[in-house]
Structure 1
Amino acid sequence: AENARVAGMMDIETYADLRELRKRVADKLGISASELERAAAPMESIYAIADHTRCLAFMLADGVIPSNVKEGYLARLIIRRTLRLMKELGMRESLKDIMNIQVEFLEGHYPEIREHHEHILNIIDLEEHRYAKTVARGRRIVEKTIKYLRKDNKSEMPLEILIKLYDSHGIPPETIKEIAEESGFNVKIPDNFYTLVAEMNEAETEISEEDLHLDYPQTELLFYARPDLEFEASVMGVYEDGVILDRTLFYPEGGGQPSDTGYIEADGCRIRIKHAEKIGNVVLHRTDDEICLKPGETVRGCIDSDRRLQLTRNHTATHLIVAAARRVLGDHIWQAGAQKGVKSSRIDLSHYRRITQGELDEMERLANEYVMRNIPLDVRWMDRDIAEKRYGFILYQGGVVPGSMIRVVEIPGVDVQACAGTHVNRTGDIGLIMINRTERIQDGVERIEFSAGASAIELMQKNRDILRESADVFKVTPSQLPRTSERFFTEWKALRNEVSRLKEEMASLKILEVRDRVEDLNGLRVIIDTVEADMDEMKNMALELTESAEAVVLANFEGQIVGAASDDAVKMGLRINEVISSAAGVLGGGGGGKPHLAQGAGKRKDKIHEALEEARSSLESFGR
């Protein structure tokens, strides 16, 4: 209590080193700093565990997923720091047990904690197991690092190495110190170690780049109000390879949705629009064609209807998949990125573990259920403050959008987001949704690739064709394919094992045949011969034959040659790799390996006997 009272009177910000602060407190109390640390450290750890678990409860409830990047890194850092403190205190409880006590205490006051109780404990349990694996493999990494440092005549581990071992491999500095001290290597851990690591990972390189500015009036965006595919507009100007119009139906790339394509024309002049982009409030229509339009000219524009429809379907399908993922995986799911396409699209979701096939199937079923409900979309512009008050920050699943007025896309009872993309009028307009595959693109982020509408039907038909063709190979129906494939695979494995067994028996017979052909070359016992065997067989044979001879050289009539030397021969100075390299040169090729085992090959198969004679000459010279 006296320590807390005195320490509370000090401004910790003025002390760069916690040791200095403790010394000041110890002096006030009339004891040594080491005595103070022994008495206060356990209580400090207990308070730190309570504070860390409280912080984690809110972080995980807010959707933060422990990972190796950004806020996820900070969550993992806190979890592992808490686990280390628990170990130092000799606590037998798991972090999941402690976290459960903290969550039960908080959920009475914070509904968001109560709603995510099971999710929080699942993440903590998973991270605790990951940490245990990290510590288990850490000893080997630390010992290897110390070995290299000693080669550089270092007796203390540099801070940057200490941070790297924690940052890259997750090995706590305290664990590193324990392992190092066992071998007499010094490790000094700064009191602000975890602060240094956190600051290093929070730092992001900012690239300042002057924005392109087009000095034209704001382009009127027609695609929000009109579902038309053709429009008339006036040419405002030309910039590089682009045309600027006073109004447009071309959707400019943004929010993960590619731009529309199509053409604009006037008086026999037509140019193909390959890309539209929004620069400030001006839409620039880019083309590879020669621009034959002039400012003030009236043009007719036409967009590619099939492309627009597919992009629109895929964009709305993205909202349905995110909604389905939140239903299946939990409310912690947050969109980490998206890219819509014509044939397929992808959505990146924050999640703490791999998505199972069963979960994917349920997400796909739910998304298609939303489609079949044919729910009308409610799309409107709203004041940002009113929208946030009504819907909360779930609006920004696709990222925070600028402006005081935001476009809200709501699928009643399913999903709501602030979104500037194009959307269908009703979910039924999307058609079939198929989830193609999933992959983990980084720690804590799952990528889902999917198709919608006509592209989903094409994919379904393609998969059906593959299934039918595979079934035809086995002369069975598609429904019999899994069982038939399993049977053939089992039989193939059995035959492969039988072939391996027979090869071993043949090799044994070949060894028996060759073993008696030992000859003496000036006191060196050698076996030099041709055999009917491949490279791997010859290597195994050569190694086994070194029990009968000090040097073995075998070759086949495919222009391959192998050599092996016994341990005693290597100790005497024999380098079989040099012998094989010289022999392979006769074959017009090369060879290499180690002093006790080497191989070589060449295209001059007719020179195999000359190559063996070259090997014989080399070994005979060594015998002398």
Structure 2
Amino acid sequence: MPKSPQNLSGNQIRQKFLNFYQQRQHKILPSASLVPEDPTVLLTIAGMLPFKPIFLGQRQSEFPRATTSQKCLRTNDIENVGRTARHHTFFEMLGNFSFGDYFKEQAIAWAWELSTEVFGLPPEKLVVSVFENDDEAFAIWRDKIGIPAHRIQRMGEKDNFWTSGPTGPCGPCSEIYYDFHPEKGDENIDLEDDTRFIEFYNLVFMQYNQDAEGNRTPLQNKNIDTGMGLERMAQILQKVPNNYETDLIFPIVKTAAEIAGLDYANSDEKTKVSLKVIGDHVRAVIHTIADGITASNIGRGYILRRLIRRVVRHGRLIGISGEFTSQVAETAIALSEDIYPNVREREQSIKSELQREESQFLKTLERGEKLVAEIIAKKPKQISGKDAFKLFDTYGFPLELTQEIAEEYNLTVDVVGFEAEMEEQRKRAREAHQTIDLTVQGSIDKLAEHIHSTEFLGYTQPQSSAKIEVLLVNGKSVELAEAGTDVQVILDRTPFYAESGGQIGDRGYLSGDNLLVQITDVKKESDFFVHFGKIERGTLELGTTVTAQIDSTSRRRTQANHSATHLLQAALKQIVDPTISQAGSLVAFDRMRFDFNCPRSLTSEEVEQIEGQINTWIAEAHEADIAVMPIAEAKEKGAIAMFGEKYGAEVRVIDFPGVSMELCGGTHVKNTAEIGVFKIISETGIASGIRRIEAVAGQSVLDYLNVRDKVVREFCDRFKAKPEELPERITNLQNELKASQKQLDALKQELALAKSDQLLAKAESVGEFKILVANMGDTDPDSLKTAAERLQQKLGESAVVLGSVSSPDKVSLVAAFSKGVNSKGLQAGKFIGAIAKICGGGGGGRPNLAQAGGKDGSKLTEALKIASTQLRSELGC
């Protein structure tokens, strides 16, 4: 009797898969985070990624076989989400892995047994593919499994050779496809026909390592890496037309439809696409936030922000006007919490992040959409790169979102032009943050092949003898330089730390017989340390030997600040959120700055707790354990790596046992007690999702407190009060000032009204309307508005335009129009906005009342004259 696929839920499919391989001596492992351990990889995009070091032979596995259900996130073909039957951003990959244990024959046999015996897929509905040159796999399928040769397809490298990226482990693969329409016969089988076939199980025979040049060498062990798409198997077994209508996603789609007042089944295709996008993206978003990612404009944060904004926009496309993402997220959380309990544990963070991003985007979306509508109304052949960049830069529209909107109007976007605008912005940023003189860099590039890399001694030696390898003046190589000259020097060896990892370069001196060169900065260019300084005494000659001495006092202060940043990150993780990560830093002699991912401001209580915890660690005198080790070993120990940093095979680990462990090339104290004391100066937001703490440590705290103490003493003298009485005295003064300001504003209003009453007689009759255009001197904007409203009311059917100049570069304009004037097609907002442009400004408002401003007071008379002329023309009968 022919077999029939079992009707299983998504959870049942996942469990049956894991149980099958557990019974075959595979260790069931939990899903890794969507944030990979490897700092060079943005997101977990495949089930094998957590095992990459094992496949490469960098780390030994504790077990020869493993099986997982790995959550993955990809956005490389995001435009297909919702449009095809099985494209997703977030998906679960069921996998079984062998680390040098079994290989092709066993992997193929088990995949077939699982598919046909456990899930009940009829063999006659299955087709397989192999890599075109893989005769071994072909023979196993044909001779061992018994699949007819004509149902085994040989395919090229594009389809059947799997790589983990440009470099890394790779190998030929074999895929199993389900045939929805076997009645079409076995002739001319086209596996790319996704209306008939769906690939649901991919067996990768991981046996090579690919280098940057594309060369492939055999791995130490032959490994197995497989992936079965959970959503795809659910579609097959649940007999639904696409992955979105499985029990893994459809409840989310249904919730969105209910919020929009829609019935999914009876919706048109365009609406269904939007509902599917919401279903997919919300699932991706809850897991992304649960794994500690917050929305921002860089890296993973940008991907999250893009997904949330796509959800919001597709919600608007189906008629949802208000905030809704948290409600849909609740359904997604409920679907996932049994398998991934962290989504429920992080529920509040997920919903807070969604509400914040949705609210923020809704404010800009409407303005951005209006701009797009204005652009499209001009009927261009395509949206220009300049306009696309303006949408991105001003309104936060990702290029992809602009492309989506354009596509709805059968338009394209000038991507090349957009990239040109983006590159111009990058160029401006580079010019604003240039760290080394380009002429110096050019000279170094020319000399590089003739000199050795600088040997850095600064971790252990504050002083050393060194040879002058390169001597530059104004970027040009010279043989010698005299006193008073600014120079750039490269030594063969140096104790000076070069600016890197947020820590600024050392200060100090180069000295010799009757020679003194003050070094004010050190920067690293390639493998060379460039010392910037000025010759204070004597002559500096190329090739001579000097004594290089760092300023030890400045170094100690820098070390205290740098070690304090490590303690600060540890305290933030402990007190605020364990998913917090560094987003940038500055370590100077007198202060430190630490940027970190966090979607909200810290409370005053949190800031106090963080400061207290760090000072406790300082007082506990934790010894620093500094070691160089393989990067894999460092990660196994739990060392924190900064995303975006490039690390070599060996890394330097700074460990304050029980407190903090980070990969870092900077200089540090030997014991936390050397920091002395730590004080937070400020905590602020610098970008969406990015916070900044500025602080001081050690001697700098005393300097900071001395300045504060001086200010307090000055205020005490001025107010004749004790320090503890200052807040009350200042509050009383503020209240008095507010009361005085209110009285002054009231007097200004009365004066403006008095002036306006005198203008009534100057109103001019034009047809059935009164027109009054006047200059009210230096009247403030609020009083000007009040006067215009009152004059219009007294004049009845009228148009009133008033202007004033409170300073040469501050012009105020107000227009007040009656309903009769509006009926003639004149709107106050549009009218006064156009008039304000004459004064170098702009503005707008309601049809009956609007304000505008300008920057050129000398143009006010001209602007009012033009306003009067236009009103006569428009209202004249």
- Which of 151, 155, 168 pairs up with 2:396? 168
SS of the aligned residue for 1:484 comes to helix
CA gap of 1:501–1:408, structure 2 versus 1, over 3 A, is same
Does the Cα contact within 8 Å between 1:371 and 1:430 map onto a contact in 2? yes
TM-score by length of 1: 0.68
- Which of 347, 350, 374 pairs up with 1:148? 374
Does the Cα contact within 8 Å between 2:523 and 2:531 map onto a contact in 1? yes
Moved more, 398-407 or 421-430: 398-407
CA gap of 1:188–1:8, structure 2 versus 1, over 3 A, is farther
Report matched runs for 1:310-459 at 5 Å. Answer: 310-389=557-636, 391-392=637-638, 394-397=639-642, 400=645, 402-459=647-704
How far apart, CA to CA, are the structure 1 residues paired with 2:384 and 2:565? 48
- Which of 309, 332, 344 pairs up with 1:98? 332
SS of the aligned residue for 2:626 comes to strand
CA gap of 1:412–1:142, structure 2 versus 1, over 3 A, is closer
SS of the aligned residue for 1:457 comes to helix
* Aligned match of 1:253: 499
CA RMSD of aligned residues (A): 5.9
Structure 1 residues 235-286: Cα deviation after superposition (integer angstroms, max 9, x where no partner): 4554634444343222222222111122212221222223334455543433
* Aligned match of 2:516: 270
How far apart, CA to CA, are the structure 2 residues paired with 1:348 and 1:508? 52
Matched, 1:306 2:553: yes
Structure 2 residue ranges without an equivalent (≥5):
8-84, 87-120, 130-154, 160-191, 199-238, 253-278, 413-421, 431-440, 478-486, 827-838
- Which of 245, 255, 258 pairs up with 1:43? 245
Matched, 1:232 2:465: yes
Moved more, 490-499 or 307-316: 490-499
How far apart, CA to CA, are the structure 2 residues paired with 1:335 and 1:481? 38
Matched, 1:283 2:283: no
How far apart, CA to CA, are the structure 2 residues paired with 1:379 and 1:591? 61
SS of the aligned residue for 2:658 comes to coil
CA gap of 1:186–1:57, structure 2 versus 1, over 3 A, is closer
CA gap of 1:135–1:54, structure 2 versus 1, over 3 A, is closer
Matched, 1:64 2:302: no
Matched, 1:73 2:308: no
How far apart, CA to CA, are the structure 2 residues paired with 1:598 and 1:322? 47
Moved more, 254-263 or 396-405: 396-405
Structure 1 residues 281-327: Cα deviation after superposition (integer angstroms, max 9, x where no partner): 54343334399344653322222222212211111111111111111
Structure 1 residues 426-447: Cα deviation after superposition (integer angstroms, max 9, x where no partner): 1111122222223323332222
How far apart, CA to CA, are the structure 2 residues paired with 1:132 and 1:562? 35
CA gap of 1:305–1:507, structure 2 versus 1, over 3 A, is same
CA gap of 1:322–1:491, structure 2 versus 1, over 3 A, is same
**Aligned-pair distance for 1:412?**
1.3
How far apart, CA to CA, are the structure 2 residues paired with 1:569 and 1:86? 39
* Aligned match of 1:223: 458
How far apart, CA to CA, are the structure 1 residues paired with 2:194 and 2:813? 69
Letter in 1 for 2:466: A
Letter in 2 for 1:133: S
How far apart, CA to CA, are the structure 1 residues paired with 2:813 and 2:280? 66
Structure 1 residues 133-168: Cα deviation after superposition (integer angstroms, max 9, x where no partner): 367547744762464255324799999979968993
SS of the aligned residue for 1:319 comes to helix
Structure 1 residues 391-449: Cα deviation after superposition (integer angstroms, max 9, x where no partner): 13x33248646444332211111101122211112111112222222332333222221
SS of the aligned residue for 1:395 comes to coil
How far apart, CA to CA, are the structure 1 residues paired with 2:513 and 2:295? 60
Letter in 2 for 1:345: M
CA gap of 1:188–1:121, structure 2 versus 1, over 3 A, is farther
**Aligned-pair distance for 1:340?**
0.9
How far apart, CA to CA, are the structure 1 residues paired with 2:384 and 2:575? 47
How far apart, CA to CA, are the structure 1 residues paired with 2:310 and 2:799? 58
Structure 1 residue ranges without an equivalent (≥5):
15-19, 27-36, 108-112, 191-200, 575-589
* Aligned match of 2:737: 492
* Aligned match of 2:354: 128
How far apart, CA to CA, are the structure 2 residues paired with 1:253 and 1:420? 11
**Count of matched residue positions in the alignment of Structure 1 and Structure 2:** 553
How far apart, CA to CA, are the structure 2 residues paired with 1:296 and 1:144? 67
Does the Cα contact within 8 Å between 2:560 and 2:669 map onto a contact in 1? yes
Structure 1 residues 59-98: Cα deviation after superposition (integer angstroms, max 9, x where no partner): 4455432333322222344456678899989999541453
Does the Cα contact within 8 Å between 1:313 and 1:423 map onto a contact in 2? yes
Does the Cα contact within 8 Å between 1:234 and 1:297 map onto a contact in 2? yes
CA gap of 1:571–1:387, structure 2 versus 1, over 3 A, is closer
Letter in 2 for 1:232: S
CA gap of 1:105–1:171, structure 2 versus 1, over 3 A, is farther
SS of the aligned residue for 2:535 comes to coil
How far apart, CA to CA, are the structure 1 residues paired with 2:602 and 2:824? 59
CA gap of 1:142–1:306, structure 2 versus 1, over 3 A, is closer
Does the Cα contact within 8 Å between 2:506 and 2:555 map onto a contact in 1? yes
Higher relative contact order (CA 8 A, sep 6+): 1
How far apart, CA to CA, are the structure 2 residues paired with 1:399 and 1:170? 21
**Aligned-pair distance for 1:43?**
0.8
Letter in 1 for 2:493: R
How far apart, CA to CA, are the structure 1 residues paired with 2:411 and 2:247? 17
Does the Cα contact within 8 Å between 2:293 and 2:579 map onto a contact in 1? yes
Does the Cα contact within 8 Å between 2:773 and 2:800 map onto a contact in 1? yes
Does the Cα contact within 8 Å between 1:233 and 1:298 map onto a contact in 2? yes
**Aligned-pair distance for 1:485?**
2.7
How far apart, CA to CA, are the structure 2 residues paired with 1:60 and 1:169? 21
Structure 1 residues 501-558: Cα deviation after superposition (integer angstroms, max 9, x where no partner): 3444455555556657889999998999999984655675466345349799999999
Letter in 1 for 2:359: K
Letter in 1 for 2:496: F
CA gap of 1:215–1:357, structure 2 versus 1, over 3 A, is farther
CA gap of 1:313–1:510, structure 2 versus 1, over 3 A, is same
Does the Cα contact within 8 Å between 1:435 and 1:449 map onto a contact in 2? yes
Letter in 2 for 1:95: A
Does the Cα contact within 8 Å between 2:629 and 2:652 map onto a contact in 1? yes
